Every structure is written in C-alpha cells, then in structure tokens.
Amino acid sequence: MTARLKNPKEWSVDMIIDIEHKVITGVEDREYTSVEFDSRKVIPGSIFVAVKGFTSDGHVYIDKALESGASMIVADSNDCPFTDEELKAKGDRYEACIIKVSDSRKASALIAKQFFQDPESTMNMIGVTGTKGKTTITFMIADMLEHSGIKTGLIGTVYDIVDGEKKHAAHTTPEARDNYELLRKMADCDTKACIMEVSSQGLKLDRVCGIGFDIGCYTNFYEDHIGGNEHPDMEDYLNCKLKLMEMCDTAVINTDTPVSGRFLDRAREHCSKIYTYGMSDGCDVRAVDIVHGNRDGHAGTSFRLISPWYEGDVFVGIPGVFNVYNALCAIAVAFISGADKDSVLDSIAHIEVPGRLQPVKNDLNITILVDYAHNAASLENVLDTLRETTQGRVITVFGCGGDRSHTRRFEMGEVSGKKSDYTIVTSDNPRTEDPMVIIGHIVSSIEKTGGKFEIVADRAEAIRKAVLAAKPGDIVLIAGKGHEDYQIFKDRTIHFDDAEVAAEAVRKIQEDRS
C-alpha cells in the first residue's frame, strides 16, 4: 500500500542538507503525496528516489516514475546513467523537479524521515544488533514491556507488530522508507516503545539512517553473512555492526565476546551511558548459579541475577545458556525502559519465541522443538543445550538451503553427526539446486563422524518419521527453518511450517494410539 499522509507534506531539498546535492531543474518547494523507491508504487505527486541495488537499478525506472506522475526525482550522482542535460529534459517534459544527491540511499532515509514527520522521536527506540539472538531478545523485550503496560511495537525477522497486529516481515531490517512508514503507524496509535532488530545489512545500506536509538544492544559476533551481496570480509561485517553504537544514547553490551572491546570503545565515544552484561565478574548485569530444569511445563534455566535494579532468582522459559545471555540483555533493556520487576520476571518465565526452540505440545512424553539454527555454530549451541537437559536421545531433523554457502552444509553435517544420537537429513529450501545434491554434501560429513543417520528427502515425511521414532524422554529437534512458513523449490514455493507439520504428526500418532 502506498504511503500517504492525511495532509500532503510540503518538502524542500534543504531538508537533506547533510547530503551533497544539486537541483537540476524544477521547483522543489511543493506538496508531495508519497515517497517511494519502487517505481511501481509511484502515484501523482510522489517523490521517487532512484537507488542502485544488487539486482536492479532504480535509475532505469526514472521515466516510468515520471509517466506515473512523480513530481520529484532524486538521482544518485555516482550511479545515475543520465547526463544533467538528459535529466533536465525529462524533468521539463513532465514539469517535475529533478535533483542529484551524493548518496541516494541516505537521501531516501532522510526524505522518508521528514515525510513521515519524525515518528521515531515520539517513542523509546531500542535497537538490537549481533549475529545471534536478535529475534529472541526483541521478543523478550517486547513481551516484558507489554506486561508492564507499555504499548510496544516490533520490527524484526519473524514479523512486524503494530498496534498488536502481526504482519510477516520481508527483511530483518526493512528499507528506510518502509521503516519510517511502520514507525509512523506506531506513533499514530500511541505506541510508547519500538524494538527493532538492526541487521548488519540494515546498517550498511542506511536503512536505519536518521533514527536516534535511545538504547542500542550488542549481542555477539560470529562468522556469517560473508560473500555474495553481503559483506566482503569479517572486518566489514564488524564495522557495520559497530555503527549502532554511534546511533544510540545508552549502550547494552555483552562483554563475554572476543570483540566486545571494539563495541565498548565505540560506545565510550558516542554514548552517554553503558551497561555491560554476561557471566564474567564485573558485568553490570550478571547471571550466576545457573541450573537447567523445568517449571510449569517449560524447559528452561534458573539463575541468580545481579543487576543495578534487582538481585534475585530468575527463570527463563527457554532452555540454554545462550538464552540466559539473551535474557540478561532483555532484562537490562526492560529495566532501563521502566518495566516493573514482577512483570519482567513473569514474562521471562513464560516466554515463547516463534521458531526459536519453539515447543510443539504433545501427550507423548517427548520434547519437540522447532528452531531456526541454520549454521554450524547455531546448531552446535542448540544441541549442546539439549544434551544438558535430557537423559534420552536427541533426534535431529535438518537440511540446508540451496544457492547458499556449500561450506555450511559440510559443517552442519559434522556437528549433527557428532552431537545428535540420530540425524534425519532432509530438504530445506533447495531453491534452484537439486535437493539430493545438497543432502549428499551434508551426508558426506556425517559419515566421517560415524554418526547414525538416514535420508528422507521429503521434509514433512522426515518430521513425521522423527516424531514416530521418538521414545518417552527423547528430544526431537527440527532445525533450519524455524519461523518460516514456506518452502522454496526451483519451480514453486509452497506453504510449509515445521511446527504445523510436527503438530499434525503428533495428532495422528495420538489418535492411532487412543
């Protein structure tokens, strides 16, 4: 849906004075109906910002935007294929304003910020970056704040939440224009806080440009997102994540990571307050006396919290030491944001996050968990956690995505072969690749470990087979897709939800046994 304000916004090029710019032709001080980077959404009176992407170049669609009624075109002086004379002719023909800027991505963000009338300034803005834990932490924070009566919105990987309504997200961090539209909708319904997953790509591509975060969180840093259209190397990946520390007033930093010093140094340069969390002595927010167990039917972890706001017992209703880290970050942010102790403790004890060790209820006396672990480090973390919490077997169902790093397949196969009692290798999102080729790569690594496995290419059948094979006390881990509700093949995309398929398998087994 094209964004429109109730009253058209008068906008001037002077509003992006932070960016070098030049007016090619036309009058920029006028009323505009929307700001768009997708020419298909342009309506009469729109501002169209031409951005060069990885697969397409918005400058190619300048004529189409003008034909659709755009009143202003913003082109990038570094990427625009047209001369100033050609742009002037186009603008004069359609009586449109044409300007060139030194960075159209940044301009897109700052124009959207002005067009949607600085919606972020009305809310407590909380950003979370890091390789792992962003989704879980944002859900934890949102739930804690809601429990405390603080109306909260969320922008993240699984879905965006505006006024309590959930909508599936296209990107972890949306494009800048879409970000500001979401924030405007939140502001219009009196949202008091917004929690945002801030990806390295979101920072690199200026999708959060112009947002001043009240709180910025750093979780951890692992090798990921290298190559292709992402990051050329780990240093670029790290430098992109460090940018969040330049955009926030208060920093919350996990100091139990090798690169935490880089985040602390950057935060000291830009932030007015810094809180550290972890399990090491000296952390502001610390967990000690960690014990794995169950409470009220939830597998989880108990620990004693030491913090500036509360010292005492905490139970996290999701298992694993890494979820203790996630909880420490969320608890710190919640208390900083004014949440009350009882709401925080109750929330974290009953938290459920879609696709993150998400339980599938059953009466079979087995534990079925759906998790997004889609690389070796994540899978290893999850399997180590599950090994600590069960006396039974761990049966793992997973595959690997097509058109992605081949290394990941061999590494995940090795991890599952070593740490699972039994692995069922299946299909994930094969995309344009042959599923059996991907499975073959995974199996070659499992075989080297001596781990027990079988191949069931059909993912639904693999899940059913795992649930049927599980005995009381066993854990079935369905890994790789987590919250995703689709499966992508070369010639089609189908609806597929691991949790739904597992629940149906449970239902059928329970019926057959009754």
pLDDT at residue 351, rounded to an integer: 93
Q: Can you give the residue ranges of every domain in the chain?
A: 9-114, 119-349, 358-513
- Give yes or no for a contact between 327 and 140, defined as CB atoms under 8 angstroms apart: yes
pLDDT at residue 21, rounded to an integer: 84
d(CA 426, CA 458) in angstroms, rounded, equals 6
Of 151, 143, 197, residue with least CA distance to 174: 197
Domains 9-114 and 358-513 are alike in CATH topology: no
Class of domain 119-349: alpha beta
d(CA 311, CA 316) in angstroms, rounded, equals 15
pLDDT at residue 203, rounded to an integer: 93
CATH architecture of the domain formed by 358-513: Alpha-Beta Complex (3.90)
Strand order in 46-49's β-sheet?
21-25, 97-101, 72-76, 46-49, 34-36
Query: Is 420 in a helix, a strand, or coil?
Result: coil
Tokens found for residue 460:
């639904």
Strands (E), 347-465: 358-359, 367-371, 394-398, 422-425, 453-455
* Number of neighbours of residue 333 by Cβ within 10 angstroms: 30
d(CA 416, CA 309) in angstroms, rounded, equals 40
pLDDT at residue 1, rounded to an integer: 27
Choices 3.40.1390.10, 3.40.50.970, 3.30.70.20, 3.40.50.300: CATH for 9-114: 3.40.1390.10
- Give yes or no for a contact between 284 and 255, defined as CB atoms under 8 angstroms apart: no
pLDDT at residue 405, rounded to an integer: 87
Residues ≥6 apart with Cβ < 8 Å to 17: none
Q: What is the CA angle 133-134-135, rounded to 5?
A: 95
pLDDT at residue 13, rounded to an integer: 58
Strands (E), 228-272: 248-254
With a cut of 70, list the residues of the chain below it in pLDDT: 1-18, 223-231, 297
pTM (two decimals): 0.86
Q: What is the DSSP letter of 120?
A: G
